[in-house]
Structure 1
Amino acid sequence: MTASTLNVAIIGSGLSGLALALTLHQQSIPCTIYEAGESPLNTGGGLMLPANGLKILDKLAVSEPLRKRGYSFDRIYLQVGERILEAVDYGGLERYGIRALRAYRFIVLEELLAAVKEKSIPIHFNRRFNHIISETESDVTWQFKDGSTETASLLVGADGIHSTVRSYLAPDIKPVFASMVAIVAAVPTAQLELPSAPEATSATDLNAASNIYPLPTGIIVPRLGAFVIAPQTHNGDEVMITVQRPMTIEGRWADIDADKDYLRSLFRQNSEHFPSVVQNAVRHIPSDQLNIWPFYNIPRLERWTSAKTQGGFGRVIIVGDSAHALPPSAGQGVNQAFEDVYLLGRVLGRLGSGRNASNEILQQALFGWQSFRQARVDRVLELNRQMDLRRMPKAPGATEEKEEELLDIAAMYDWLFNIDFEKAVDECLKGLD
């Protein structure tokens, strides 16, 4: 198998599918994207892009256009009132070689799609994947809903948490509601009436630690949870506000999202106990800027690739939310998806350049890729748990965390953001030389 003979079908034109296509293009591996809808699905909201995700977008030549449209920052803070408990470096030129970024999801989609089109990577809309027909040692054939069929060397499911491709690998696995939701709103930064420190004289100073409320920040009231406030426009004139709430019953989310009065009441719950900056933030919320985001998990999968025990030959692969949906507490869902696809593309590129890449070698390489990625996903899940402890209101009788236990999280991020992707590719392929 060489890069010139390998061709990859990507199911889904979301963030991970587009990023995979760009990575494969860099490796001179032909690929085609198939999307069920008329355009890439924009699920709304904003994205936190710390150093690990931004490094990948930088390698794909997308970070600079994004930088012109999103909010650049280095640190995210956690505070009780005006007292800062934690300051976590999400980026920084000295520490990670790149600043972190927050941007609307649709902006990231637009820039990735523009890069795909600029490189003339084929993308076909209104092609809904239906099922796998067959796998051999050299290719996979599948059918679309309209009855048409296609064949490729590999098929990669980047079709999200409700993945149809995943049903081929794990037919009994379904997303599980995590009994938790986020209520998200966007308001003008001026509405916060931020008490300015002398050093905070422009939008670029919003992230300065000298501010009373440096942004982005999570403002905590013990036992009542936290409100997270984060700028998401280039000049910092608009902020996202989010709060997590328990919800024991899985709902009809479209109906709940349409009930803006209910969402406002849920959003403002206990806000009177928070500092004035939070009370100002929730005072006026336009209906078209208020949404609910339910959290779902995917039970841990044994394999992200098809196995011989299933009649497969490793020719079907799943990535991102299809393989390991992550709640957004640590801001790593899309960033871990970017890691999946970038490392997958690089691994396939290595196999196509100088290796005798038999199907057996391919399967070993994919196993190494999944093992490396699963280990990082597992550590992110622990980060999510730590963040939920800080942001969620406490149930009656729950044990209060000690402040010194909360302070440890800053040190837990360095391994995540300081990844060396060249060494990561080597690790995925360890033992195959």
Structure 2
Amino acid sequence: MLPERTDVLVVGSGPTGLTVAATLAQRGVDVTVVDRLDRPPVTSRAAVVHAHTLEVLDRIGVAAPLVPRGLPSQRFTVRDRDRMLLTVPFGTLPSRYPYALLVSQAQTEAVLAERFTALGGRVLRPYEMTGLTPDAAGATVHFADGATVRARWVIGADGMHSTVRELAGIRFAGPADRGESFLLADVRVESVLPRDQVALFLARQGPLVWAPLPDGVVRLVATVPDAPRDPDAQRFQALLDERGPARRPDRVTELLWGSRFRIHHRVAETFRAGPVLLAGDAAHVHSPAGGQGMNLGIGDAVALGETLAEVLAGQPDTLLDEYALARRPLAEEVAGFADRLTRLATMPPAGRPLRDLLLRTVSAMPSARHRLALRLSGLAQRAAG
């Protein structure tokens, strides 16, 4: 049952919502989390937690229980079929987590939910937000069942199609096209590819991400012109045949689940409108190339939770404007980085020899590879996180 009042109402219980809720609860804040779904999804897009994100999660007691559920990856590779174009090593990262943790988003959410529960919180389901009435002292939030909640602050962590963002009247800037179409799946494959590294295959038809997960599972993500609603194993086999290893091709032996999604490259015009605050996909969306989206959202969440806790403890609410001003440029930079990776992958045949030469040159320069590792891991943003 919904409370009549709460200090902070978090709408959305994905990684961003759970992270901000746990951050606030750890500081003793009265926080309520609602979600429109009656149960957490068991399938999800994100499959990597980067080093900086693990450092951030360590601040709320989540990194230690999460690491054993994942597979540490020592490097990120870029390939054109059988040709290795670039290797980015993570082993020399200046972090207590010198790797990328390959773990299903569902597992990340489960650990975050366990931490929030241990702090005395719980997610209230299913509650669909239908209205928002802000005023000088907070906001009244309306739900489809007729209930209302009075909150001093409302956090939109409800994803790309955020109801909070729309009701707050915050514009979601980006191209007006239909966005990129993606297929994704968890599969079992017979493959000669190493199981301790992520591979980004560049192909004229679009990029293919090959990411190993625990228990012999591989996450596949690929851009396609028009993704079918229910992709089958043959569809993913065709993608591997078209873009993956050629001399010793992968063979899909089992499709655990498959889905589709569409992504626009968009960033909210502001992350704060009065008592309404945005984080994660509600504030920014972009290509999954580089595995940056969920990581950026978790960074938003801890920064926002820590800042909001200070405001509730008596600090001026202008600190929240500083949060918004600091996080939005990061979102634009990450969106641009993911877009550049996607454009590299889809470069026309005439430009591919130069692209491949450039990547091999970078791969031969230790300092350049280290800078790229810092960028992918999020550690280059440490000062802002």
* Cα gap change, 1:260 to 1:79, in 2 (>3 Å): closer
- 2:187 alignment partner AA: V
Distance 1:135 1:75, change over 3 A: same
Q: Quote the Cα distance in structure 2 between the aligned partners of 1:171 and 1:274.
A: 44
Counterpart of 1:267? 239
**What is the CA-CA distance between 1:82 and the residue it aligns to?**
5.1
Q: Which has the higher mean CA deviation after the structures are superposed, 66-75 or 335-344? A: 66-75
Is the Cα contact below 8 Å between 1:129 and 1:164 reproduced in 2? yes
* 1:77-115 Cα shifts (integer Å, max 9, x gaps): 1234555332224x4475222132011121111111111
188, 200, 211: which is aligned to 1:218? 200
Q: What residue in structure 2 maps to residue 199 of structure 1?
A: none
Query: Would you say the 8 A contact 1:178–1:297 is kept in 2?
Result: no
2:221 to 242, 246, 255: 242
For structure 2, list consecutive stretches of 5 or more residues without a partner in the other structure: 363-367
* In structure 2, C-alpha distance between the alignment counterparts of 1:375 and 1:169, rounded to whole Å: 21
Match of 2:247 among 273, 276, 281: 276
Q: Give CA-to-partner distance per residue, 1:5-46, whole Å, 9 cap, x none.
A: 982110111111100011112222221111112123445244
Aligned equivalent of 1:383, options 328, 337, 341: 337
Please tell me whether the aligned partners of residues 263 and 291 of structure 1 are also in contact (alpha carbons under 8 angstroms): no
Select the structure that is richer in strand: 2
Describe the superposition over 1:252-284 as per-residue Cα deviations: whole angstroms up to 9, x where unpaired: x7xx2225378347625634x84234x2x2x33
Residue equivalent to 2:34? 34
Aligned length: 371
State the shift of 1:153 in Å.
Answer: 1.1
Q: Which of 319, 324, 331 lines up with 1:370 in the alignment?
A: 324
- Where 1:270 maps in the other structure, the secondary structure is helix
Contact 1:186-1:239 at 8 Å conserved across structures? yes
Q: CA deviation at 1:217?
A: 1.9
- Residue 168 (1) aligns with residue 167 (2): yes
Show CA shifts across 1:141-179 (max 9, x none). Answer: 111111111111101011111111111233664885554
1:229 to 186, 189, 210: 210
Alpha-carbon distance between aligned partners in 2 of 1:60 and 1:268, rounded to the nearest angstrom: 39
Matched residues in 2 for 1:335 and 1:391: separation?
22
2:378 aligned to 386, 397, 417, which one?
Answer: 417
SS at match of 1:345: helix
CA deviation string 1:291-330 (max 9, x = no partner): 33322333x3322221xxxxxxx11111111111122112
Cα separation, 2, equivalents of 1:54 and 1:412: 18
**TM-score between both structures, scaled by the size of structure 1:** 0.76
Q: Which residue is 2:365 aligned to?
A: none
Do the aligned residues in 1 keep the contact of 2:47 with 2:211 (CA within 8 Å)? no
Give distance in 1, aligned partners of 2:201 and 2:110: 32
Match of 2:356 among 400, 403, 407: 403
In the alignment, the residues of structure 1 paired with residue 31 and residue 208 of structure 2 have an alpha-carbon distance, to the nearest angstrom, of: 42
Q: Indicate the residue corresponding to 2:87 in structure 1.
A: 87
**Aligned-partner residue type, residue 142 of structure 1:** V
CA gap 1:100/1:262 in 2 versus in 1, 3 angstroms: closer
The corresponding residue for 2:271 is: 304
> How big is each residue's C-alpha offset from its partner over 1:375-409, in whole Å with a ceiling of 9 and x where there is no partner?
111221221122113333x4576676433433558
Q: Distance in 1 between matches of 2:95 and 2:351?
A: 38
Describe the shift of the 1:264–1:240 C-alpha distance in structure 2 as closer, same or farther (beyond 3 A): closer
Identity %: 21
- Alignment-derived partner of residue 337 in structure 1: 297
1:135 is the counterpart of 2:106: no
Could you tell me how far apart the structure 1 residues matched to 2:85 and 2:192 are? 22
Which whole-Å CA distance do the structure 2 matches of 1:379 and 1:412 have between them? 14
Instruction: Tell me what 2:12 maps to.
Output: 12
Q: Distance between the aligned counterparts of 2:381 and 2:348, measured in 1?
A: 41
TM-score, normalization: structure 2? 0.84
Report how far residue 206 of structure 1 moved. Answer: 4.0
Q: Which has the larger radius of gyration?
A: 1
The aligned residue for residue 212 of structure 1 is none
Is 334-343 or 60-69 further displaced after alignment?
60-69
In structure 1, how many angstroms separate the alpha carbons of the residues matched to 2:60 and 2:380? 16
In the alignment, the residues of structure 2 paired with residue 93 and residue 397 of structure 1 have an alpha-carbon distance, to the nearest angstrom, of 36
State the alpha-carbon separation in 2 of the partners of residues 420 and 128 from structure 1.
35
Indicate how the Cα distance of structure 1 residues 139 and 169 shifts in structure 2: closer, same or farther if over 3 A, else same: closer
AA of the residue aligned to 2:335? L
SS of alignment partner, residue 79 of structure 1? strand
Give the direction of change, closer, same or farther, for the CA distance of 1:262–1:398 in structure 2 (3 Å limit).
farther
- Distance of 1:224 and 1:150 partners within structure 2: 48
- In the alignment, what sits opposite 1:60? 60
Residue number in structure 2 paired with 1:105: 105
In 2, Cα distance between equivalents of 1:159 and 1:331: 19
Give the Å deviation of 1:183. Answer: 2.6
Does structure 1 conserve the Cα–Cα contact (< 8 Å) formed by 2:138 and 2:151?
yes
